[in-house]
A = this chain, B = another copy of it.
Amino acid sequence: MKMMKLPEKTVERLSIYRRTLLDCLAQGKTHIFSHELANLHNITAVQVRRDIMFIGYSSMQRKGYDVKELIDVIGGIIDSEARQNVAIIGIGNLGRAITTYFMGKRSKLNIVAAFDLDPNKIDRMVSGVKCYSMQNIEEIVKEKDISIAILTVPADSAAGTTERLVQAGIRGILNFTTVPLNVPSSVHLEEYDMITSLEKVAYFVKKQAG
């Protein structure tokens, strides 16, 4: 399998393309031109073609890309063959919203457990997943083969919790908290910082006004 390093931005766009392509497929569209895909995302057709070039897929000339094939090729890049299991760490307001949302979808990424400290939640089903005590995290992570954690604990527990996740063998973390985390380079950390995004909007709105 071609495992050359893709540009990070290309990986992001592939994820987005795939969602659009799945919609197209659902609408019975079998082929799509680079400029169509581009228009759907307000980017240029060149960008689309370049991204697709990176993953080594080729269309039938003049017919556009085969929607089904392209979905599969992107899947081959992004998805694991083995299912990747995901855990929610801290199933409060945000954790519940995310879990509920995911339960309604089906994908290669499955939320298979939640972890919390609150005794009212532990050993119960919360938003459709079983909630476990943080104390048992190492054993459950191994048992259920969980590789990815979605971190939605309060800010002041974030650093400590992250250490436990790493020790438990978690390989990737999506960080919803607004505190910077420290992980070894073998663990992929993705920041997902709502406050920063919102303040960025505020900055650009202000700038345009001024």
What is A's interface to B at a CB cutoff of 8 Å? 1, 3, 8, 11-12, 15-16, 19-20, 40-42, 77-80, 84, 86, 93-94, 96-98, 100-101, 108-109, 147-148, 150, 171-174, 178, 180, 182, 186, 188, 190, 192-210
Contact = CB atoms under 8 A, between A and B. Distances in A.
Quick one: which of A3, A84, A101, A205 has the most chain B CB within 10 A?
A: A205
A109 B202 contact: yes
B15 A199 contact: yes
Nearest to A189: B201
A192 B18 CA distance: 17
Contact of A202 (B96, B148, B206): B148
Contact of A201 (B180, B188, B200, B204): B188
Contacts of A195: 15, 19
A114 to B, nearest CB: 15
Contacts of A174: 197-198, 201
Contact of A94 (B80, B101, B210): B101
B200 A15 contact: yes
Contacts of A190: 197-198, 200-201
A12 B188 contact: no
